[in-house]
Homo-oligomer: A and B are copies of this chain.
Amino acid sequence: MAEKKYVYAFEEAHGLGKELLGGKGAGLAEMTSIGVPVPEGFTITTEACTLYYESGKAIPEFVQKQIFDAIKGIEKKTGKAFGGDKKPLLVSVRSGARVSMPGMMDTILNLGLNDVTCAALARETNNERFALDSYRRFILMFTNIAKGHPRDAMDKMLDELKEKNGYKLDTEVTTEQLRDLVARYKEYYKKTFGEDFPSDPKVQLMEAVAAVFRSWDNPRANIYRMQYSIPYSWGTAVNVQSMAFGNKGETSGTGVAFSRNAATGEKAISAEYLPNAQGEDVVAGIRTPLHIDELKRRMPYVYAQFEKTIKTMELHYRDMQDMEFTVEEGKLYFLQTRSGKRTPAAALKMACDMVDEGLITEDEAVLRIDPVSFDKLLLPNFDKDELAAAKNRLIAKGNPAGPGAGTGKIAFTAEEAEKRNAAGEKVVLVRAETSPEDLAGMIACQGILTMRGGMTSHAAVVARGMGKCCITGCAAALIDEEKRTLTIDGKVYTDQDVLSLDGSTGSVYVGDIKKVAPDLSSGNFGRLMAWVDERRDLKVRANADTPRDAHQAKVFGAQGIGLCRTEHMFFDKDKIFSFRKMILAETKEERVAALAEIEPLQQKDFEGLFEEMGELSVNVRLLDPPLHEFLPQEEDKIAELAKATGHTVEFINKRIADLHEFNPMMGHRGCRLDVSYPEIAVMQTNAIIKAALAVSKRKGIKIEPEIMIPLTLELRELKFVKAIVTETADKLIKEAGVNMKYHVGTMIEIPRAALLSDELAKEAEFFSFGTNDLTQLTFGFSRDDASKFLPDYYKNKILEEDPFKTLDQAGVGQLIKFSVKNGRATRPNLHIGVCGETGGEPNSIQFYHDAGLDYVSCSPFRVPVARLAAAQAAIRSPRKK
């Protein structure tokens, strides 16, 4: 029986796909296939990673054998020898997941070095300093990454050495000093682990591969996956590649290149180059790289090849590429390429440009925009005039690494940023440089400012991925972490000072600057949204309770209101008193009288909505929460209410006690209130219909209000409440002598309703899935309480996503599909939407598209995102027309 293949040389891997090879591995295979100069190497598949975990964190013997065979392959092609005392083969070991997870996964370079190979390398390159420096770096990385030991102590050895000798740069360290350092590193290793540093390259290799596999499960990787909804089950591949050395002297160097500008989208290579260095120096932000012109200046012939290869790759991949390259003694190697992360603004510009260039289709352009960060385009930018006026407050400049505007007080650590943000404070994160450990703080802040690092440093790459404003390499910013101060031009700023960061220009201002909303209808944004709207099947509505929200929704392109929650209206100062009287009423007559006071006010609310929305649909949900939510809790408020209503305090306390519920989420709420107190539904219907009649007459337009009955679970219940609504509405319409239509439907938010959708569709003209409650009941999760145990569920990988944010397709989704199918079986033209929180989440929207819904409804701000996601869904899986 042929053994399963877990290891592929780059030249035999082309076409096997990212799932198996990871993004980096697939890229290397593809680059090899189109003739890009790539160092020889092979990929260990993601299946090997899964196998590693299934084997109890061990690499099975037969996989090890395949790996060593592949090493032999490299030896053959390069004529080098792994562990050899002549022409020693050194390799890099890199992680490579299906999608790029920058900074999350660990890499080991120069693997294969030991005393023998180091000497050989020194001999053969005639550069002992380089050999020793590589050896030193390797021991450090191996200790830190493969063995999981902190690097501080070893870093300190180098720092102290430099300080003692007055060196500024690593390159100033002498060969002798490096030899000594290698010895001290090895000594430290032995002291720490109780064994010699492994000199066998095969042992080194297996430990490194296992370390990459383990790094898939480190806390930072888990945070990143959570943030970006990447399944744990994917695993990572490992790429082993013969080393290319950027640190072999002045004709060597390393760099990172984007085929277009990742921050702005501009069509121009954007690259950085650092002579005589390894790539890690750049990514870690330890040294600030130079502009690519440096390469052009030093080695124009290399630059020409560089430029040509990049163009080839962009044409081949039909997308902006993010590449790492190394020049080893005048020979150019590309180490990896991938579709580059970009700011939302850059993504938009590139997509439009590439359509114009004929590189991609409009469909592809729409698919190129990441809906998750798309709403960043909707964020305000600094007002241009205010920005000009703030010129005198400009205190520093850095690299414009992530566009956007961010204002906040200074936070000096990620933890601090996280805490102060949680406490409601807006902060900007100010760091010498960022590292993967800072991720949570980067998510929590308004913007990032670093002293070190270029356009491709950790901070820059991560911030752009998040669509977060970021300025890197701001050398003027002197940070003292201990004293918690930032000093610029001698002036000292503390954690109480406010900075405004303009990520588009790299300008740092002191104090706040006014921001303005972006223009959404013209330019590339308008162009993209036109393509989007042409393509999508799902309509997009907004959840809006006030004319202000409704207006915002229209600005963002909402095609109606999918959910108006009337309960918010009752908390108005002018209504809450009457509403409380209604709750305290002891007879139906008292209740009706109190409701009569509210009706004209509520009618006014609805008139505002209808005025704003014109002929667009407005879906009003009848009162939903339990009545006790409307009564005061504090003693003084109760006393006040008693006085105002003429009830005794005892009476009100008794009523509050009567209304107490053990599980209010599953209590006397929704249409259950209308079953007990039909007069509430009568009042609300009166207000809705009267408002629609008035506005329709006033503006001479056609309004067809939708009235939605919440929390239904049974046909007879729906019939009962619907009868109240239609009786009330029909009478008003008849009295008005006009021909106004209206629609009565129901929320589907209780599992039983989903299960009995065939029945409910007999009476309901429309369904709207309330995924918040449907998720609560399908999971048996109280949303208010789940935060206590959900962290344990994430930690133990039982759940990977918050089901209240992203629809749980396996469970809740099954109910939704069932409901759509059975509802439409009864009533083929049943109008179906969703108004829960997941209605604005891109993955969920794909599901709703596939499930055949008519619309999604989300918060106004999410409307453009939902439009884009709906178009992408339609492109990915066209509906049968």
In the complex, A661 has a CB within 8 A of chain B: yes
Does B713 contact A788, Cβ atoms closer than 8 Å? no
- A714: interface (CB < 8 Å): yes
| B residues near A793, Cβ cutoff 8 Å | 672, 675, 717
Q: Check if A714 sits within 8 Å of B799, measured CB to CB.
A: yes
Copies in the complex: 2
A779 touches B752 (CB 8 A): yes
Taking the closest CB of chain B, its distance from the CB of A778, in whole angstroms, is 5
Least CB separation from A811: chain B residue: B752
Contact string against B for A residues 99-122, beta-carbon threshold 8 Å, 1 for contact and 0 otherwise: 000000000000000000000000
Contact B752 A792 (CB under 8 A): no
A15-72, CB < 8 A from B: none
Contact A792 B676 (CB under 8 A): yes
* Residues of chain B lying within 8 A (CB to CB) of residue A125: none
Contact of A666 with B665 in the complex, beta carbons under 8 Å: yes
Contact B666 A798 (CB under 8 A): no
A751 to chain B: which residues have CB within 8 Å? Answer: 751, 777-778, 780, 811, 815
* A 523-541 binary contact with B (CB < 8 Å = 1; else 0): 0000000000000000000
Within 8 A of B (CB), among A809-864: 810-812, 814-815
One of B672, B717, B781 near A666 (C-beta < 8 A): B781
Is A370 positioned at the interface, with any CB of B under 8 Å from its CB?
no
A773 within 8 A of B: yes
Contacts of A626-674 to chain B: CB distance below 8 A: 661-668, 672
Whether a CB of chain B sits under 8 angstroms from the CB of A750 is: yes
**B792 adjacent to A675 (CB under 8 Å):** yes
Which residue of chain B has its CB nearest to the CB of A812?
Answer: B752
CB of A756 within 8 Å of the partner chain: yes
B contact residues around A796 at 8 Å (CB): 675, 716, 720
Contact present for A784 and B750 (CB under 8 Å): no
Contact of A668 among B720, B788, B814 (CB under 8 A): B788
Chain B residues with Cβ under 8 A from A755's Cβ? 778, 810-811, 814-815
Q: How many residues of A contact B (CB 8 A)?
A: 49
Assess A662 versus B779: contact at CB under 8 Å? Given A716-B798, A798-B716, A811-B756.
no
A151 interface residue (CB < 8 Å to B): no
* Among A752, A777, A781, A814, residue most surrounded by chain B Cβ atoms (within 10 Å): A752
Interface residues of A in 776-807 (CB under 8 A from B): 776-782, 784-786, 788-789, 792-793, 796-799
Determine the residue in chain B with the shortest Cβ distance to A808.
Answer: B752
Contact of A713 among B663, B676, B811 (CB under 8 A): B811
Whether A666 pairs with B668 at a CB distance below 8 angstroms is no
Chain B nearest Cβ from A669, distance in angstroms: 9
A711 sits at the interface (CB 8 A):
yes
Query: Which listed residue, B662, B714, B797, B810, touches A756 by the CB 8 Å rule?
Result: B810
Residues 747-780 of A at the B interface (beta carbon under 8 Å): 749-752, 755-756, 759, 773, 776-780
Separation of A750 and B755 alpha carbons in the complex (Å): 14
What CA separation (Å) do A798 and B720 show in the bound complex?
8
Question: A676-B789, A811-B752 in contact; A667/B720 too (CB < 8 A)?
Answer: no
Chain B residues near A711 (CB, 8 Å)? 780
Residue-wise, chain A 734-755 has the 8 Å CB interface mask toward B (1 for contact) of 0000000000000001111001
Given contacts A777-B780, A814-B755, A815-B755, contact A666 B785 (CB under 8 A): yes
Q: Which residues of B contact A675 (CB under 8 A)?
A: 789, 792-793, 796, 798
The chain B residue with its CB closest to the CB of A781 is B666
CB pair B798 A778 closer than 8 Å: no
Chain A residues with a Cβ under 8 A of chain B: 661-668, 672, 675-676, 711, 713-714, 716-717, 720, 749-752, 755-756, 759, 773, 776-782, 784-786, 788-789, 792-793, 796-799, 808, 810-812, 814-815
With A675-B789, A675-B798 known, 14 other A-B pairs at CB within 8 A are A661-B788, A662-B664, A662-B782, A662-B784, A663-B785, A666-B777, A716-B796, A720-B798, A750-B780, A751-B777, A751-B815, A752-B780, A752-B811, A773-B780
Which 10 residue pairs spanning A and B have beta carbons closest together? Answer: A663-B782, A666-B782, A752-B811, A662-B784, A667-B785, A750-B780, A663-B663, A751-B751, A661-B785, A676-B792
- What are 25 residue pairs bridging A and B, where the CB atoms are less than 8 Å apart in the complex? A661-B784, A661-B788, A662-B664, A662-B665, A663-B664, A663-B665, A663-B666, A665-B666, A665-B780, A666-B776, A668-B789, A672-B789, A672-B792, A672-B793, A675-B792, A675-B796, A713-B811, A720-B796, A720-B798, A751-B811, A752-B808, A755-B778, A755-B815, A756-B810, A777-B780
